[in-house]
Amino acid sequence: MRKIVLGLFLVMLLGSINTCQAKSKGSTTATFLKLGVGARAVGMGGAFAAVSNDINTLYWNPSGVANIKETQFTFMYNRCFMDTKQGLLGIVKKAKGIGNIGISTLYTIVENIDKTTDNHHIEDIFNATDLAISLSIGKKINSKFNIGSNFKIITANISNVSASGIALDLGVLYSKKNYSLGCCVQNIGSKIRYQEKRESLPLNFKIGNALNLLNKKLLLTLDINKPIDNKTNICLGSEYLISNSIFIRTGYNNGRNEAGNGWTMGIGIEYKNFNLDISYVPYGELGNMLRTSFTTKLK
């Protein structure tokens, strides 16, 4: 039965990959889904598809949710450039007979947008908001394989125009000793309609690797992404435990084009069942992103 379930899941996953490859490059909407969440993951360059036992796998690869052994709650805040704010609230807990389930809310708010006339005079000032509410399920097929999925309801509002849609993420995770391999397709869904215009969601296929070294003091990660609206990009990440409670992180993401040099960095502090993570991402002339995440584990 487990082999049948895993086989059906892989068929769905491969079908989504073919869809991603078949579609041509073009503009997409709901781009807030591409910003990344969790200061730990972002500090590692966004190379997080094969990392498990962290609540932020809700976003990067939901199959990792199956490895979480206790209830986890997280809150993230990101003060972006250009009057943009990003936030995340999420919780994961065990569900008997199902695996692990999670619920999360991801939002962005862009403030003080100028509405101008044809003569470039400011006529009004308005805000834009994006929201995604996700239900996540992660389940172990056996000691080495996990599967997981996210079901997302997406809404967007800009001035007096609103739109909504639904999307699905599918992921698998293989783990053996100190190595893990993750694969995920994000944002499978129909186009979102803004008045008369219909735009695609930012469909993305990713495959990731994670390797623990030095008695698990050093974590090295590598992700390859194939987004529908851009070229293939590579993310590299590292995390090193320098004491019993302090982590330092760095990463590189070549998918930012001209916005910054691609390097990221971060720090994490762990105290009992609490984690505080901070990441710093430079975006060149656009400014910098400083994310702060707080996670607690309830045993």
Q: Assign residue 147 the CATH number of its domain.
A: 2.40.160.60
Q: What pLDDT score does 15 carry?
A: 47
Q: What percent of the chain has pLDDT over 90?
A: 61
Q: What pLDDT score does 18 carry?
A: 46
Confidence of residue 11 (pLDDT cuts 50, 70, 90): very low
Q: What pLDDT score does 260 carry?
A: 62
Residues spanned by the domain of 108: 2-298
Q: What pLDDT score does 67 carry?
A: 93
Dmax of the chain from CA atoms? Answer: 66
Model pTM score:
0.87
> 193, 88, 73, 71: which is closest to 134 by C-alpha?
88
Going through the chain in order, the beta strands assigned E by DSSP cover 71-79, 84-95, 99-116, 122-140, 145-158, 161-176, 179-189, 192-194, 197-199, 204-213, 218-227, 233-241, 246-253, 263-271, 274-282, 288-298
CB contact burial 78-103 (16+ within 10 A = b; e otherwise): bebeeebebebebbbeeeeeebbbbe
Confidence of residue 44 (pLDDT cuts 50, 70, 90): very high
Confidence check: pLDDT of 272 > 80: yes
**DSSP assignments along 179-227, one per residue:** EEEEEEEEEEEPPEEETTEEEB---EEEEEEEEEETTTTEEEEEEEEEE
> What is the tens place of the pLDDT at every residue in 133-191?
999 999 999 999 999 999 999 998 887 788 889 999 999 999 999 999 999 999 999 88
Q: CA–CA separation, 266 vs 247, rounded Å?
A: 8
Q: What pLDDT score does 117 carry?
A: 55
- The domain total for the chain is 1
Q: What pLDDT score does 212 carry?
A: 97
Q: What percent of the chain has pLDDT over 70?
A: 84
Confidence of residue 12 (pLDDT cuts 50, 70, 90): very low
Q: What pLDDT score does 195 carry?
A: 67
The residue ranking higher by pLDDT, 258 or 173, is: 173
CA distances from 96 to 99, 100, 106, 138 (A): 6, 8, 26, 12
Q: 159's torsion region: left (phi>0), alpha (psi -120 to 50) or beta?
A: left
> What is the tens place of the pLDDT at every residue in 75-133?
999 988 777 899 999 999 999 888 999 999 999 998 766 666 566 666 667 788 999 99
Residue 293, strand partner residues: 76, 277
Q: What pLDDT score does 111 carry?
A: 79
The mean-pLDDT minimum among 8-22, 62-76, 254-268 falls in: 8-22
Confidence check: pLDDT of 10 > 60: no
Q: CA–CA separation, 210 vs 274, rounded Å?
A: 23
CA distances from 112 to 48, 85, 117, 245 (A): 33, 12, 16, 40
Q: Compute and round to an integer the Cα radius of gyration of the chain.
A: 19
